[in-house]
Amino acid sequence: MTFIKWFLPIFVTTLSFGAASAAERPNIVVIVADDLGNADLGYRGSKIKTPHIDALAKGGVRLESYYGLPLCTPARAALMTGRYPMRQGLQTLVIFPSHRYGLPTDEKTLPQALKEVGYHTAMVGKWHLGHADKKFWPQNRGFDHFYGNVVGEVDYFTRERGGVVDWQRNGEFLREDGYYVDLIGTEAVKLIAGHDKAKPLFLYFASLAPHAPYQAPKADIDAYNDIFDNEMHRTYAGMISNLDRQVGRVVAALETNGMRENTIIFFTTDNGGATSALFATGARAPEEREASGGVALGSKPPCSNLPFSGGKGSLKDGGVHLPAIVNWPGRLKPSVVNEPLHHVDLMPTLLALAGGKGDPSKPFDGKDAWGTLAEGKPSPHEEILINVEAFRGSIRKGRWKLIKVATLPGKTELFDLIQDPGEKENLAEAFPEVVRDLEARLMNYAKQQKMSEWLKSQVDYLGFQGETLLDPGYSTDGGLPHEKPVLPTK
Q: Is the pLDDT of residue 398 over 50?
A: yes
Which CATH number is 26-382 given? Answer: 3.40.720.10
Task: Give tens-digit pLDDT for 147-161.
Answer: 999 999 999 999 998
Q: How far apart are CA 117 and CA 113, in angstroms?
A: 7
The highest-confidence range among 223-227, 288-292, 477-481, by mean pLDDT, is 223-227
Q: Is the pLDDT of residue 40 over 80?
A: yes
Cβ partners under 8 Å of residue 353, min gap 6: 25, 26, 264, 370
The least confident of 132-146, 307-321, 367-381, 476-490 is: 476-490
Distance in angstroms between the alpha carbons of the first and the last residue of the chain: 61
Q: Is the pLDDT of residue 244 over 70?
A: yes
> What is the model's pLDDT at position 289?
54
> What is the model's pLDDT at position 475?
35
Where is pLDDT greater, at 379 or 478? 379
Whether the CB-CB separation of 311 and 272 falls below 8 Å is answered with yes
> What is the model's pLDDT at position 24?
79
Q: Is the pLDDT of residue 197 over 70?
A: yes
Q: Is the pLDDT of residue 252 over 50?
A: yes
> What is the model's pLDDT at position 368?
98
The model carries a pTM of: 0.91
> What is the model's pLDDT at position 460?
61
The least confident of 8-12, 307-311, 370-374, 402-406 is: 8-12
> What is the model's pLDDT at position 12?
36
Q: How confident is the model at residue 14 (pLDDT cuts 50, 70, 90)?
A: very low
Whether the CB-CB separation of 208 and 153 falls below 8 Å is answered with yes
Where is pLDDT greater, at 2 or 371? 371
Where is pLDDT greater, at 481 or 200? 200
The least confident of 33-42, 321-330, 446-455, 471-480 is: 471-480
Among residues 15, 25, 35, the alpha carbon closest in space to that of 477 is found at 35
Q: How far apart are CA 313 and CA 477, in angstroms?
A: 9
Q: How confident is the model at residue 295 (pLDDT cuts 50, 70, 90)?
A: confident
Residues of the chain with CATH 3.30.1120.10: 391-448
Task: Give tens-digit pLDDT for 421-461.
Answer: 999 999 999 999 999 999 999 999 999 999 999 999 876 65
Percent of the chain with pLDDT over 90: 80
**Sign of the CA dihedral with 99 first, then 274, 126, and 204 last:** positive
> What is the model's pLDDT at position 157?
96
> What is the model's pLDDT at position 302?
94
Which ranges of 218-332 would DSSP assign to H, the alpha helix?
A: 218-222, 231-256, 286-291, 317-320
Residues of the chain with CATH 3.40.720.10: 26-382
> What is the model's pLDDT at position 29?
98
Q: Is the pLDDT of residue 489 over 90?
A: no
Whether the CB-CB separation of 319 and 272 falls below 8 Å is answered with yes
> What is the model's pLDDT at position 285?
46
> What is the model's pLDDT at position 291?
61
Q: Whole-number mean pLDDT of the chain?
A: 89
Which CATH number is 391-448 given? Answer: 3.30.1120.10
Cβ partners under 8 Å of residue 152, min gap 6: 72, 94, 95, 96, 97, 126, 128, 161, 477, 478
Task: Give the active site residues.
Answer: 72, 128
